[in-house]
């Protein structure tokens, strides 16, 4: 069994590669090598927009975990996924595993989510045996969003009405690795973190962990991204830790006090 992880240098993909290596699987990691160098012994440099490069990368591969995504160019993401699906059919790949986002049907007009839903639709219609796992937002994304909002000196403005169920990326990676090592399951139960939290509550905890003392002020936002975020907690799902507190403890350092 040879498992190819597309986007194997990405935030999620490299954790999936790690999880599979720890499980003793024969794994390959595919990307263009633009955002991070490919892992020496298992890296395959290929662009999903090149049918020839994908065909070569699939030589001997039995299972694909598709984590590659191009958020800056949605049409490239869909084209890359379609190329990959067609190449997997030709190569006789026996299991196509895909990572989706939980709850996005309610915001299907938001361009990023429209891409994700269209990719799921194409996989399900492809005839390939597949597993689709939809998960909530990773702690790393919550951190990135809060970083972007943390611009004012004494206050932190946070959009009102955004409630998330953030999940640990290692938990997601481990679930994807498990799925890839088992039989195709079609659409799986969604996977979310252990807590349902308004963004302002996450922001307060995040600021405390960084040793920043600011007032968090929730404001009504019309930004499409935040509007799309607001309805993601609908739907039943498997809940799994660790929680945001542990992620902060492991990843955020308080500045040292000057004596
Ligand atoms: N972040 C979240 O909270 C969250 C939640 C649920 C689901 N997801 C899904 O998880 C997946 C992975 O997200 P992520 O945050 O790990 O993404 P990411 O860090 O942006 O990684 C994307 C990967 O795709 C590769 N890639 C992009 N275009 C490519 C192309 N044309 N050919 C080959 N490789 C290409 C990139 O490497 P190069 O640029 O070097 O090629 C990189 O390795 C996405 O589908 C996302 O929708 C994310």
CA angle 168, 31, 99 (to 5 degrees): 40
Question: pTM score, two decimals?
Answer: 0.96
Going from the Cα of 155 to the center of ligand 1, the distance in angstroms, rounded, reads 32
Q: What is the pLDDT of residue 224?
A: 85
Instruction: Establish whether residue 159 lines the binding site of ligand 1, counting it when its CB lies within 6 angstroms of any ligand atom.
Output: no
Can you read off the two tokens belonging to residue 143? 């951190």
Q: What is the pLDDT of residue 136?
A: 96
Going from the Cα of 67 to the center of ligand 1, the distance in angstroms, rounded, reads 5
For atom 15 of ligand 1, the residue with the nearest CA is 11
Which mutation among 10, 35, 225, 237 tests ligand 1's pocket best, with the greatest number of atoms within 8 A of CB?
10
Cα(33)–Cα(259) distance, rounded to whole angstroms? Answer: 44
Instruction: Establish whether residue 70 lines the binding site of ligand 1, counting it when its CB lies within 6 angstroms of any ligand atom.
Output: yes
Can you read off the two tokens belonging to residue 221? 């936002």
Ligand 1 atom closest to the Cα of residue 12 is: 16
Q: What is the pLDDT of residue 74?
A: 87
Q: What is the pLDDT of residue 86?
A: 98
- Alpha-carbon torsion (97, 18, 193, 70), positive or negative: negative
The CATH label, of 3.30.230.10, 4.10.80.400, 3.40.50.720, 3.40.1110.10, for the domain at 2-137+168-191 is: 3.40.50.720
Spans of the chain below 50 pLDDT: none
Instruction: Establish whether residue 31 lines the binding site of ligand 1, counting it when its CB lies within 6 angstroms of any ligand atom.
Output: yes
Instruction: Establish whether residue 35 lines the binding site of ligand 1, counting it when its CB lies within 6 angstroms of any ligand atom.
Output: yes
Q: What is the pLDDT of residue 41?
A: 87
Q: What is the pLDDT of residue 257?
A: 63
Q: Are strands 186-187 and 197-198 parallel, antiparallel or unpaired?
A: unpaired
For atom 44 of ligand 1, the residue with the nearest CA is 69
- Distance from chain centroid for Cα 108: 17
- Start-to-end CA distance of the chain, whole Å, equals 58
| SS3 per residue for 223-242 | CHHHHHHCCCCCCCCEECCC
Q: What is the pLDDT of residue 255?
A: 67
Phi and psi at residue 235, in whole multiples of 5°? 100, 145
The pLDDT tens digits for 3-56 are 999 999 999 999 999 999 999 999 999 999 998 999 888 999 999 999 999 999
- Residue appearing with tokens 């191009």: 70
């Amino acid at each position: 069994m040879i498992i190819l992880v597309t986007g194997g240098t990405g935030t999620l993909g490299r954790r999936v590669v790690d999880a599979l290596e720890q499980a003793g699987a024969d794994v390959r990691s595919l990307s263009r090598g633009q955002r991070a160098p490919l892992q020496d012994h298992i890296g395959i440099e290929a662009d999903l927009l090149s049918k020839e490069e994908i065909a070569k990368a699939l030589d001997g591969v039995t299972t694909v975990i598709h984590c590659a995504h191009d958020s800056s160019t949605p049409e490239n993401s869909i084209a890359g996924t379609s190329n990959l699906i067609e190449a997997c059919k030709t190569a006789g790949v026996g299991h196509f595993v895909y990572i989706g986002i939980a709850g996005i049907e309610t915001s299907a007009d938001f361009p990023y989510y429209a891409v994700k839903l269209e990719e799921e639709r194409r996989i399900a219609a492809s005839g390939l045996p597949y597993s689709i796992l939809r998960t909530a937002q990773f702690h790393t994304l919550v951190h990135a969003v809060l970083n972007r909002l943390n611009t004012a000196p004494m206050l932190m403005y946070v959009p009102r009405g955004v409630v998330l169920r953030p999940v640990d990326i290692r938990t997601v990676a481990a679930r994807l690795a498990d799925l890839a090592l088992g039989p195709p399951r079609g659409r799986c139960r969604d996977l979310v973190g252990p807590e349902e939290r308004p963004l302002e509550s996450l922001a307060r905890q995040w600021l405390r962990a960084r040793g920043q003392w600011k007032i968090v002020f929730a404001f009504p936002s019309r930004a499409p991204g935040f509007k799309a975020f607001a309805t993601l907690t609908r739907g039943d799902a498997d809940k799994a830790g660790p929680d945001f507190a542990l992620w902060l403890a492991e990843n955020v350092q308080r500045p040292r006090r000057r004596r």
